[in-house]
Amino acid sequence: MSNSDPANALAEQAAEDVLQDELVSLRAQVAQLTAAGHELISTQTRMQSLLHRATDAIIQFEADGTVSSFNSAAERVFDYAEIEMMHQKATQLFDLPEAFRDNVPGYLLAYARKTREQYEQPLVGLRRDGSKVLLEVSVAEIASQDLVLFDDFSDAASASDAGYEAFLCILRDVTERKRIDEELRRHREELEQLVDEQTREIRNAKDEAERANQAKSEFLANMSHELRTPMHAILSYSEFGQKKLTSAKPEKLGQYFDRIHTAGGRLLEMINDLLDLAKAEAGRQIYDIRDNDLDAMLRAVLTEYEGIAEKRKLSLRYVPGIEDQHADFDPEKLGQVVRNLLSNALKFSPEGGVIEIATSDVDLVSGDAVHVPGVEFCVRDQGAGVPDEELDTIFDKFVQSSRNRKGAGGTGLGLAISREVVHAHKGTITASNNADGGACFRVRIPRNPPPPTT
Ligand SMILES: Nc1ncnc2c1ncn2[C@@H]1O[C@H](COP(=O)(O)OP(=O)(O)OP(=O)(O)O)[C@@H](O)[C@H]1O
Ligand SMILES: [Mg+2]
């Protein structure tokens, strides 16, 4: 450079200095910008990593409704990869109503606005395999660099109407929580039901115990009366006999002995009944069930009662209705059942009435719904019958019907014993009332019952 003009040289120097300063300042600015750029990149990286590490699914939509971010949790919840969702409308993630056909952000916003109790009515999302996932939703619109979060969704209406640049939604998977809650609710209900059932059972057991207690008291009252009557007869007639041993005629003494014998017989019958029932209930009764003639057994027992029936002006009628009279049963025990039924019919029939025993073939259905051939006999009378609500309970021990409990005598054991015997034959015994008055007791047993288990 020529320094011929000193003024020029000075000016050039000054310009060079200015340039130098500007260069320094520019370098400083570039360094600042680079640092800011780095900061921005690191902030963005941090944000991205936060977004991807979040436990809730976060999806960002652009203003045109396409996905611009789909975090890892979203990938897990919906089973789609971010790459598949990017720049898509993501309509497969929800069952969209017609009004929101390709507008997922609009749908989510409308849902969030309208459904305050989101946990109660969760949003239903659809996974890749079509299974449903239950979600709670928060939405945010990003307008002009501002993030507007809608905690109170009533505000969302005005904000969204202004339009948005981007739309962020956070979806929390509540399927498992709901399932656990549902399970807890079911357990609670089951528990309540169990408690109710047990309370009912305890109440029933208590009622049952009270009924048994009541029946027992009645039985004791009855039994002492029943025992006392023949006992008095025995004591009185034996005392008469002793006093009049030398003075009374032998026939008179014979009469006393007869009465003592009858009363003793009645006592023995009662004691036998009690023992029989106790044995049957303890499963210690021994049955001899084998092929027997039903007709012969019924005729034999009927003959025993002819005398008593005649005395009471009652007629006994036998109506056989089956051809093959053979069946497997214990004639002594089943005969006892017929005796109990006949003695009841005689006891509860008005004078002049008819008592009928009829037999028939029946088809029985066993416990495992198998049909087996059976035989039936029923004892029908023309007495007062049994109140409908007592038709089952009269088979319980010591129970007597309210209609004829008073004054008829008996201990309420006959039907209980009969039921035990019939059950040992795998049969049934039921009571009903005839349409034209009187009671009917029906016994059904299979022709070939399996051997008793006891
Ligand atoms: N044919 C019938 N008509 C009306 N009531 C009946 C008849 N048979 C039974 N009952 C009612 O059922 C009750 C129970 O009968 P069950 O044979 O078990 O006892 P009981 O005859 O009173 O006494 P027990 O038979 O022990 O001497 C009877 O007391 C009676 O109230
Ligand atoms: Mg009886």
Q: Taking Cα atoms as reference points, which of 422, 411, 412, 267 lies closest to residue 337? A: 422
Q: Taking Cα atoms as reference points, which of 98, 127, 94, 119 lies closest to residue 108? A: 94
The pLDDT assigned to 327 comes to 95
The pLDDT assigned to 285 comes to 86
Question: Mean pLDDT over all residues of the chain?
Answer: 88
pLDDT one-digit tens code per residue, 382-432:
999 999 999 999 999 878 888 876 666 777 889 999 999 999 999 999 999
Question: What phi-psi label fits residue 283: left (phi over 0), alpha (psi between -120 and 50 degrees) or beta?
Answer: left
- How far is 29 from 229, CA to CA, in rounded Å? 129
Query: 285 C-alpha to center of ligand 2: Å?
Result: 20
98-115 per-residue burial string, b: 16 or more CB within 10 A, e: under 16 = eebeebbbbbbbbbbbeb
Q: Ligand 1, residues 394, 402, 433, 440: which to mutate, most atoms within 8 A of Cβ? A: 394
Q: Taking Cα atoms as reference points, which of 336, 384, 376 lies closest to residue 357? A: 376
The pLDDT assigned to 28 comes to 92
For the Cβ of 349 lying below 6 angstroms from any atom of ligand 1, the answer is no
For the Cβ of 386 lying below 6 angstroms from any atom of ligand 1, the answer is yes
Give the residue carrying structure tokens 């999302």: 125
3-state secondary structure of 164: coil
Q: Ligand 1, residues 411, 415, 417, 430: which to mutate, most atoms within 8 A of Cβ? A: 415
For the Cβ of 381 lying below 6 angstroms from any atom of ligand 1, the answer is yes
Stretch among 163-167, 300-304, 321-325 having the lowest mean pLDDT: 163-167
Ligand that comes closest to the CA of residue 417: 1
- Residues pairing with 142 in the sheet: 147, 166
Q: Which CATH architecture has domain 289-446?
A: 2-Layer Sandwich (3.30)
pLDDT one-digit tens code per residue, 233-247:
999 999 999 999 889
Q: Is the pLDDT of residue 342 over 90?
A: yes
Q: Is the pLDDT of residue 156 over 50?
A: no
CA 150 to chain centre: 47
- Report phi then psi at 192, rounded to 5: -60, -40
Query: 89 C-alpha to center of ligand 2: Å?
Result: 87
Q: Ligand 1, residues 268, 400, 434: which to mutate, most atoms within 8 A of Cβ? A: 400
C-alpha count within 13 angstroms, C-beta hemisphere, residue 436: 5
CA 255 to chain centre: 66
- How far is 277 from 288, CA to CA, in rounded Å? 17
Q: Is the pLDDT of residue 151 over 50?
A: no
Q: Is the pLDDT of residue 144 over 70?
A: no
Nearest protein Cα to ligand 1, atom 13 = 400
Give the residue carrying structure tokens 């969702």: 85
- Report phi then psi at 68, rounded to 5: -120, -5
Query: 346 C-alpha to center of ligand 2: Å?
Result: 10
- How far is 67 from 85, CA to CA, in rounded Å? 6
Indicate the CATH number for domain 54-173: 3.30.450.20
For the Cβ of 277 lying below 6 angstroms from any atom of ligand 1, the answer is no
Q: Taking Cα atoms as reference points, which of 126, 123, 132 lies closest to residue 169? A: 123
Provide mean pLDDT across the span 14-27. Answer: 92
* Token duo for residue 128: 């890749």
Ligand that comes closest to the CA of residue 390: 1
For the Cβ of 133 lying below 6 angstroms from any atom of ligand 1, the answer is no
pLDDT one-digit tens code per residue, 304-334:
999 999 999 999 999 999 999 999 999 999 9
The pLDDT assigned to 57 comes to 95
The DSSP bridge pattern shows strands 57-62 and 290-293 to be unpaired
Find out if CATH 3.40.605.10 is the number for domain 181-277. no
Exposed, middle or buried: residue 43 (CB in 10 Å: 0-12, 13-18, 19+)? exposed
Ligand that comes closest to the CA of residue 378: 1
Provide mean pLDDT across the span 18-35. Answer: 92
3-state secondary structure of 365: strand
- How far is 322 from 297, CA to CA, in rounded Å? 14
Q: Is the pLDDT of residue 58 over 80?
A: yes
The pLDDT assigned to 453 comes to 55
Query: 414 C-alpha to center of ligand 1: Å?
Result: 7
